[in-house]
Amino acid sequence: MTVVNASEPSVASTELSVWPASTTELAHGDIAVGGVPLTEVARRFGTPVYVLDEAEVRERCRTYRHSFPDAEVLYAAKAFLCRAMTHWVDEEGLGLDVCSAGELELAVTTGFPPDRMVLHGNAKAPRDLDTALHLGVGRIVIDSPSEIARLAAAVGPNGHQKVMVRVVPGISAGGHDKIRTGTDDQKFGLSIADGSAQHAITRILDQPQLQLTGLHCHLGSQITSVEPYLVAVRRMVGLMMRLYEQHGLVLPELDLGGGHGIAYRPGEQSLDLTTLARRIRAELADTCATAGLPEPRLIIEPGRAIAGPAGVALYHVLAVKHTGEHVFVAVDGGMSDNPRPALYGVRYAPRLVGRHSTAAPARVAVVGRHCEAGDVLASDVDLPGDVYPGDLLAVPVAGAYHLSMASGYNLVGRPPVAAVRDGHARLLVRRESLDDIRSRDVGL
């Protein structure tokens, strides 16, 4: 294994501003992350491959702990989860937010304490609830009225389960319509405006085996402004005040979800975590004082903001096609390992790795290998004009919602995940093979 000299300075150029902090430039156009050259990762594990910087993940966990010292920080597993990630999050003192029995079981079998976990989901399957109760999950977030009776029956008359209620505060925030979840026109949560949230809470209070510990809301994803969170604090505390007036209920917890925006390309805006923490604390204190309520313990659920910037995706170029004024650079991955550009129009900043080029930049579209016209990983990006088959491309900010949303389209198999740290690379998740795919096909 090649170990990069730790004395080499960290890359500070604007072009690499969205890469992990450990990124360094090497000779011959190579780049190292976590002290490991990316060309070496590609040689060892093949492409496509996700590279995850362990130190970056851990540092981002610590930053959240430092910024919100009095809050409970839960890592949102939906962004990316594997056994190693579960272990890192546990060691850094974060809790875990899971959305299925699969995520829950993987975490618990890795050794993560179930009482530090919260189960979400707008449509929890019976197996999700049964697994959560059997393993002793800390809290279950009720997302619809039908869950109340089902959960109470599953707990049983002598059982006990802490719950929260997901509330829709009527706030539009997020980077795309498909990832805005704080409004009344989507599938998540119970509305304040039409009284659904209040009615559900009244029903929960009639179930002695369900202990309501607090309210939950999630506004959306890729939010880069602090203001929506402050509005959410005011509306959620307003509901808490009405619950106190109607039921004498004082709730000890308030979960503001996550959705903290990150930059995918140089120059893009990200959410200022220090400002967010300071202003939320101030708003919560002021609003609770005005309402005459004690301050609830704050809970936040970052996912993308922890995993996203720690990941890099590597691809080899398979073909370069000139069609009129357009140049298409086709790689050996695509929408099966990163569906986000097709779903949300997300834009990335791929970079040539492994050789220096003196060619003038050309405006190209980096496209995938799949049988869809929408299989475009990065449109209107600049790459060296002499890019050719066999070149290695690296796409930063690939740690969140890549493997977790990967599909089996065209049966190409999902990529592996390799962790890098201190000059060493190790496999976390192996590549899905053709044998894996064939083994699931049991009929003829």
Q: How far apart are CA 223 and CA 117, in angstroms?
A: 24
Q: How far apart are CA 215 and CA 230, in angstroms?
A: 15
Taking alpha carbons only, the member of 81, 193, 209 closest to residue 150 is 209
Among the listed residues 82, 99, 217, 371, the single catalytic one is: 371
Structure tokens at 50: 């996700």
SS3 label, residue 347? coil
SS3 label, residue 379? strand
DSSP for 10-23 reads PP--GGGTTS-TT-
Structure tokens at 100: 């299925």
Structure tokens at 80: 């990316």
371 is catalytic: yes
CB-based contact 266:60 (threshold 8 Å) = no
Q: Which residues of 34-55 are buried (b: 16+ CB within 10 A; e: fewer)?
A: bbbbbbbbbeebebbbbbbbbb
Structure tokens at 280: 């939320």
CA 415 from chain center: how many Å? 18
DSSP for 287-342 reads HHHHHT-PPPEEEE--SHHHHGGGEEEEEEEEEEEEETTEEEEEES--TTT--HHH
Q: Which residues does the annotation mark as catalytic? A: 371
